[in-house]
Structure formats: structure tokens, C-alpha cells
Structure 1
Amino acid sequence: MSIHAVARTALFLVFAVAALAKLRRPAQFRDSLRAMRLVPAALVAPVARLVIATEGAIAVSLVVPRTGRVGLVGAVAVLSVFTGTLVFVASRRRAACHCFGASRAPVGWWHVARGAALVALAALGAVAPAGGPGATIAGAGAGLACAALAIHLDTLTELFR
């Protein structure tokens, strides 16, 4: 199994679902940014558009063979910023993230852990060899499972509350 393929598949799905969920309900995402009080009110809409565009661009770069490794490096950078933001919000505010859509769960340490795990996956994928066809197919399957876990974390954590 190729860690490179696991990372590219998982992160492609994570970024694509995140961007599409925000595009589907942009007002909800803007409201969550506003509640987090990370930027002045006048910058909420432009920052929301920038986040969505960045997530979409990374998703595309991960699916294109020639730009996959660059996409993983970009994912490390963006996910590091997102995770740092989640640390700030989890420790100081009570706001929902809406990272993947309609979740009402407030940002918590599960979100930070997910972000840190995704940063680690992106970093490992960026430095790992691509692997042959068999390793890539197995890695893509594992990446699908990783993405499902990351995307549905809020639902899974509700089971333990």
C-alpha cells in the first residue's frame, strides 16, 4: 500500500467535500466564521470565498497526477493554518466549524486532533514514494476509509457524548 496514494485520495476527498459543502451553504459557513470572531466583520465574506477557493484548488491539485505532490505540500500548509485556528477557537470560543457542512457541534479538541492527523498524513504523503499500480489501488481504498472517518468525525463523536 502506498502512503502517497492514501494521502492523495483521503485529502482529495476531504478538501473536495469541504469546499462543496461550503459552496452548498455559503451563508452557514460565513456565520460560523463570524461566530469565531477571527477576522473583522467586513472581511468575513472575502475570507470565506478564499477558504472555499483554496480548498477547491488543493482538491484539484491532488487529483492531477503531475501536481499531486505539490497538492500535498499545499495541504500541509493549509491544514496547519486551519488546525492552528481550531486550537484558538477550541480554547476561547464556542462556535460551530461547519468544516464539512451542517454540523452544529462546537469546535473542540476532536477537531484539533483531526486537523493534526490530516497534517501528518499530508506530510507523510508528500515525502513517500508514489508506489506501483497495486500499491496505488490499495492506498486509494485506504484513503477512502480515512476520508470517511475525517468527514464524519462529528457524527462519530456524538456516539460518545
Structure 2
Amino acid sequence: MIYLNLLCRGLLGAVFLLAFGGKVRSPAALRAFSGSLADLGWLPARLRPAAVVGLLVVEGATVLLLAWPATATTTAAGFAAAFALLAVFVVGVGLSIRRGERVRCLCFGADRGAMGVSDVVRNLALAAVAALGFGSSLIGGPAAAATAGGAVAAVAGGVVAGVVATRWDDLRFLLSA
């Protein structure tokens, strides 16, 4: 279970680090992300600044909880925060798609155009990883013994999978060309 836990932590840690970093890398990127929230017809304008700050705080905290020298409590809290964020994203994007809104995705700092069903599917898959990681925190716990090589391989595999998840549309475009 420890290797599954480390893989899930690496994957979700990479996803949320890239998301957080993409938004705060420059004032212009942060303004662009904040502006993209105007596309969400269900989010009142007066709540957008709080939504941006809240999202950044929770994304940053999620990364720290997943990267923290692990205890079952901090790791489980990181997975719970990741799951909660992803659930909000699934519901929010799904609602926007259902309403016919064309919401731009600046989730990882670059404008990839309008979000679609593939974004919902990606976030559902990531939520499943968060649930799996949460369960592994409760069952095997991150304090269980692991070899250094196995731990590095599990985290590295998770990070690679996280980068692939955040750049899936780019990879799909390259492979289809």
C-alpha cells in the first residue's frame, strides 16, 4: 500500500503544483485566470475574487499536505482536499457545459480554449486517484516501511502521470498529427 500511496501523492501533487504555479507565475496569468471565471455564468461577479483566493489557498495547501513528511493524518487530509477540489471542478464544469457556456480552461496557466467533457472525465479520474490515495492512507499508512528505490520510483511514476494528466490535450494533439 505504501507504494500506491506514494504514486497517488506524486500524481496529485504534480497536478496541483502545476495548477497553482500556472496561476501565480505572473500577475498577468493570475488576472487571466481570474477573468476566465467570468465565463462561469453561475458564479456571481462579487464572489470571483474570493473564489480565486480560496482556490489558490486550497491548491497550495493540498500540495503541501501531499508533500509533507507523511503521517496518515496529513496525507489523508491532502487526499481529502484534492478530492473536494476535483468534485467542485467536476460539478462546476459539468454545470457550465450543460448550460451551454464556453468556459476557457486556464487551470494550468495556459488558455487551451473551452472546457469540455474530456476535462470532466480527467477530473473524475483524478478524483478516483484521490479516493484511492485516501484509502491507502487509512489502510497501509505512509509510515509503513518502503525501500528508498521503490519510494523514488513510485513518486516519480506519479509525477510523470500527473504531468501527462495536465498536458493530455497537448499530447493527444501531437499524437494525432
TM-score of the two chains, using structure 1 as the length reference: 0.91
Question: How much is the aligned-residue C-alpha RMSD, in angstroms?
Answer: 1.8
Return 5+ residue gaps in structure 2 as ranges. Answer: none
| 1:29 maps onto 2:33 in alignment | yes
Q: How much has 1:136 moved relative to structure 2?
A: 2.3
Paired residue for 1:122, among 121, 124, 130?
130
Q: How much has 1:11 moved relative to structure 2?
A: 0.7
Paired residue for 1:51, among 47, 55, 73?
55
Q: How much has 1:54 moved relative to structure 2?
A: 0.9
Structure number, greater radius of gyration: 2
| 1:18 maps onto 2:51 in alignment | no
What does 1:147-158 correspond to in 2, within 5 Å?
A: 147-158=162-173
Aligned length: 161
Return 5+ residue gaps in structure 1 as ranges. Answer: none
Contact 1:89 1:107 in 2 (8 A): no
Q: How much has 1:114 moved relative to structure 2?
A: 0.7
Whichever residue aligns with residue 61 of structure 1, its letter is L
Contact 1:19 1:53 in 2 (8 A): no
Whichever residue aligns with residue 137 of structure 1, its letter is V
What does 1:70-85 correspond to in 2, within 5 Å?
A: 70-85=77-92
Identity over aligned residues, as a percent? 30
Contact 2:20 2:56 in 1 (8 A): yes
Q: Aligned partners of 1:156 and 1:94: how far apart in 2? A: 22
Structure 1 runs, 4 residues or longer, greater than 6 Å off = none
1:98-127 deviation line (CA, Å, top 9, x unaligned): 110112321011101110010000111111
Q: Aligned partners of 1:36 and 1:69: how far apart in 2? A: 31
1:58-97 deviation line (CA, Å, top 9, x unaligned): 1111101131222012211221111111211233211212
Q: Aligned partners of 2:12 and 2:62: how far apart in 1? A: 9
